Amino acid sequence: MYKAVFIDMDGTLLKKDHTVSEENRNTIQRLLNKGILVIPISARPLHGILPITQKILPDSIPVVSLNGSYIFHKNEIIAQIDISLAAVASVHEQLILHDLSIMYYSQMQWYATAHTPAIEKEQRITAVPIQILPFDQIMSTWKNEKTGPNKILVAGDKELILEVEQILISQFQAKLNIFKSQPRYIELMHIQASKTSAIQFLMNQYGILQQEVIAIGDNYNDKEMIEFAGVGIAMGNAPEEIKRVADFVTDTNNEDGVAKALAHYFPEN
């Protein structure tokens, strides 16, 4: 008996236009009515998730944001982990050598040092305005607040992203989780922050076993949770590498893949 379903958002629950289809919405409601936890788990910041999830999920459902590094439940942050400022400074020194857009997400705020088309694209799906500041000023703010970013998002040309990903892994894999979430995006979090670690945290909160968990995703930052879950589901639009590790491959995000997968594991009788 499955007790919890963790669903990625972009490329999974959401269609290309960033909306939830009626079929997905109705299927999620059916599961909620049966007492199944349906938990969104996304690389998006919290303020990029809540305007969507508040329309389809009750406040009693946790929301996992920033690739597992920031978890929200009943109007409170119940878990978070940020990147050390020493690591942030080292990563920044490496990234500024390349033609990249760099965004820093810290709790409910996000920062960059300059406007770029990639940042403007992210702003369109993010309710909170980005703060454009010199890097030293961003770091000073974090030092004063004794905090740091929960996630660093790096955007660039596909080929450059592949090159930079390997550089970052070679230098920082002992300290940071480093994933591609799209061909043009790299995401960096604390080594202990991931979608899988967030699932494990919530499993402990609810007394749920690994074999009672379903995870659905479409990209490289979903690979670990798809492998971890009792049932891991890959979207039809996922890369072949992600499909290979899944227990089940469903249709694409534009063809109600989430609803079809859930109907397979939770038939209507």
135-190 tens-digit pLDDT:
999 999 999 999 999 999 999 999 999 999 999 999 999 999 998 888 899 999 99
CATH of domain 85-190: 3.30.1240.10
**Residue 148 DSSP label:** -
Mean pLDDT of 113-128: 90
**269, pLDDT greater than 90:** no
Residue from 8, 82, 218, 256 carrying the catalytic annotation: 8
CB atoms near residue 212 (< 10 Å)? 18
Q: Beta strand pairing status for 151-155 and 101-106? A: antiparallel
**Residue 130 DSSP label:** P
Quick check: is 82 catalytic?
no
CA distance 74 to 64: 12
**Contact (CB, 8 A) for 154 and 88:** no
Q: Using a pLDDT cut of 90, give the percent of the chain over it.
A: 93
pLDDT of residue 245: 98
User: What is the value of pTM for the model shown?
Assistant: 0.91
Domain positions in the chain are: 4-80+193-265, 85-190
CA distance 41 to 155: 21
* Sequence-separated (6 or more) residues with CB below 8 Å from residue 51: 127
**5, pLDDT greater than 80:** yes
Determine the topology of domain 4-80+193-265 in CATH. Answer: Rossmann fold (3.40.50)
CA dihedral angle for residue 189, residue 56, residue 19, residue 181, rounded to 10 degrees = 20
Q: What does pLDDT average to over the chain?
A: 95
